[in-house]
Structure 1
Amino acid sequence: MTTLIAQDSSLTLRHVSKRFNGDEAPPVLERIDLSIESGEFVSLVGASGCGKSTLLRLIAGLDGDHEGEIEFGGERIVTTDLSRGIVFQDHRLFPWLDVEQNVAVALRNAALSKAEKARAVAEHIALVGLKGYERHYPHQLSGGMAQRVAIARGLVNRPRLLLLDEPFGALDALTRSRLQVELQRIWEHERITMVLVTHDVEEAVLLSDRIVVMEARPGRIADVIDVGLPRPRKVGDRDVSKLRDDIVETFFTETV
C-alpha cells in the first residue's frame, strides 16, 4: 500500500470566521489562523461551544458560508472532495449492508475498476484489523468494531486529509483506549494529514504532533502546543500525564 504524502496535503486557514443566523449574530468562530503541514497529526481541544466541530465542517467543505480562506494543498476549499475524508462520532453505517459493502460505498464514484475497488476495500478492512468480518452486518459488531469500519470507509479513497470528529466519544474507556492505539498505528502506516476534534486532552496528547487549544464565545485559538513526546505513547506514561495536567490546569481550570 503506497502513501500519498508526496502530494501537498498541507492545510492553511487565514482569518476564518463563522456566524450562524446572519451577520448580526455573534461569531461562532473568529479570525482563525492555522497552518498544518503535510502528514501532521493535529488535535483541536476546547470546551463545548468553542466551534471545534464547526471548524472541522468548514475544512471538510460541508459548509462554505464563512469569512476568510481555507486552502488544502494550495487550493481553496469550496465544497467536499474525495481528497478529504471524515469520520464522525456516530459511525453512520448502513444497517442493510455488510462490512465490505459499507466500506465499498465510499468508492462508488471512484475512477477504479471493479477489481481495484475490491482490492482497496480488502486492504483497508485489514488495515483496521477487521479481516474475517467482511460479511458481518452492523448489528453483529461492537461499537468499537463499527467505528473501525467507519475509519476504513474514511480511508479507502486514499484521502490526503482525514478529519475525525470525536470518533471515540461514544465508546467505553477500554474500547476507546484500544482504538487510540489503533489510530496511532494507522497514522504511522499511512502518514496522511489528520485533524482530530476531541474533548479528551489526554487523547490529544497521545495522538498529536500539535494540540490547538480553543476558547469559546467567540471560538478563537488560545494556544498551539507542540507535543514533542516520542512515539508510541501510552495512557499513564509520566510525560503524557504531565502534559495533560499542564494543559488542563492552564486552560480548563475555572477560577473562583
Structure 2
Amino acid sequence: MPAQRSASTRGQLAVRDVSKSFTVNGARIDVLRDVSLEVAAGEFVAILGPSGCGKSTLLRLISGLDRDYRGSISQDGEAITGTGLDRGIVFQEPRLFPWATVWQNVALGLKNAPMSESAKRDSITAHIALVGLDGFAQAYPHQLSGGMAQRAAIARGLVNRPRVLLLDEPFGALDALTRARLQIELQQIWAHEKITMILVTHDVDEAVFLGDRVVVLAPRPGRISDIFDIPAPRPRTRGDDSLIRVRKAVLRTLESDDTSEPIRTATAAEGAA
C-alpha cells in the first residue's frame, strides 16, 4: 500500500478464492477461477487483461450486482451481500438519463443517502465542480461531449462519498486525446477524494499510468497471473522511466503463452531485468 494513502482504513477489500461460471446452452463456462486479491484502503488498483478474461465480471461481483459465485468478497471486514452506498460504479457508457440535466443526473447518486437536502445540494455542487463541469449543471446529456458526459458519470459515482469507486473501462469509448486528458483528471480526483479505486481496463498504458498496482488476469477462466507494483511518484508523467520498464514487463506477461505459473509480484527493477 502506498505510504501517502495510509491515513484512512475505510475502503479495504478482500477477494478470496472467488470463482464464477455461467451456463450457456446447457454447457458450463468458467469465467473466473480461484481469484484472491487484497486491496488496501485508498489504493488505486488497475485490473488488466484481454477481452473475455472476466475483468468486468469481477467488478460486478465486488459491486454486489451479482451474488452468484463461489468464494467470498468483503469490504472493511464485512461480507458484500448486495449493492450499497459505500461502493460507487462508473461504466464505459455514461448511462445518463437523457431527459435529466447534469445536476439531476448527479443528484440520483444521492437518492437514498441519509442526508439533509441542503447537504445534498452542497455535495452535488462540489462534485460537479470537482469533475470540471462548472457552468454545465443545467445542461442535458445531448449538449455534452463524450468526455463531459463521462465526467458527469464520475461525479454521480462520487457524490455519495463512497469508500470504493469501481470503474469499468470508463474511457474506452473516448478518442485518444480526451482519454489521456481524463486519465490525468481521474488521477487528480483520486488524490482529492482519498478513496479506494479499482479500474478495469484492457489498455496497458492506462493501467500503468493510473495504478498503484496492476493486476493481470490470464485468459478464461480468469485468474491472476501477475501483480506489478508501480513505484513512480505522483503526479505522474507518461515518460517516467520506471513506468516504461513496468509497461514492458506487463506486455511480456500478456504476450506469454504460459499463464499457469504461481502468482508473483514484479517490481520495476524486475521488469527491467
Q: TM-score, normalised by structure 1?
A: 0.94
Report the CA distance between 1:7 and its aligned residue.
Answer: 4.6
Deviations 1:78-114 (A, max 9, x none): 1000000000000000011111111001111111111
Give, in whole Å, the separation in 1 of the partners of 2:257 and 2:74. 35
* Equivalent position to 2:17, from 9, 15, 18: 15
C-alpha contact (below 8 Å) 1:49/1:217 kept by paired residues: yes
Give, in whole Å, the separation in 2 of the partners of 1:68 and 1:38. 21
- Which residue of structure 2 aligns with residue 190 of structure 1? 193
Give, in whole Å, the separation in 1 of the partners of 2:101 and 2:116. 21
Q: Percent identity?
A: 58
Report the CA distance between 1:240 and its aligned residue.
Answer: 2.1
Give, in whole Å, the separation in 1 of the partners of 2:196 and 2:73. 15
Give, in whole Å, the separation in 2 of the partners of 1:8 and 1:24. 40
* Equivalent position to 1:145, from 138, 148, 164: 148
AA of the residue aligned to 1:11: L
Tell me how large the CA RMSD over aligned residues is: 1.9
Higher relative contact order (CA 8 A, sep 6+): 1
Give, in whole Å, the separation in 1 of the partners of 2:140 and 2:149. 9
C-alpha contact (below 8 Å) 1:44/1:198 kept by paired residues: yes
* Equivalent position to 1:165, from 164, 168, 172: 168
Q: Secondary structure of the residue that 2:20 maps to in structure 1?
A: strand
Give the gaps of 5 or more residues in structure 1: none
Report the CA distance between 1:243 and its aligned residue.
Answer: 1.8
Total equivalences in the alignment: 253
Give the gaps of 5 or more residues in structure 2: 259-273
* Equivalent position to 2:119, from 113, 116, 121: 116
Trace 1:65-214 onto structure 2 (pairs within 5 A).
65-214=68-217
C-alpha contact (below 8 Å) 2:15/2:38 kept by paired residues: yes
Give, in whole Å, the separation in 1 of the partners of 2:248 and 2:142. 38
Report the CA distance between 1:253 and its aligned residue.
Answer: 5.5
Deviations 1:138-160 (A, max 9, x none): 11110000000000000001000
AA of the residue aligned to 1:135: Q
Q: Secondary structure of the residue that 1:63 maps to in structure 2?
A: coil
Report the CA distance between 1:239 and its aligned residue.
Answer: 2.9
Runs of 4+ displaced beyond 6 Å: none
Report the CA distance between 1:234 and its aligned residue.
Answer: 2.3
Report the CA distance between 1:46 and its aligned residue.
Answer: 0.6
Report the CA distance between 1:24 and its aligned residue.
Answer: 5.9
Q: Secondary structure of the residue that 1:25 maps to in structure 2?
A: strand
Give, in whole Å, the separation in 2 of the partners of 1:100 and 1:8. 28
C-alpha contact (below 8 Å) 2:11/2:40 kept by paired residues: yes
Q: Secondary structure of the residue that 2:28 maps to in structure 1?
A: coil
Deviations 1:27-55 (A, max 9, x none): 10000011000000000001111100000
C-alpha contact (below 8 Å) 2:123/2:159 kept by paired residues: yes
More displaced 10-residue stretch of structure 1: 137-146 or 14-23 = 14-23
C-alpha contact (below 8 Å) 1:8/1:74 kept by paired residues: no
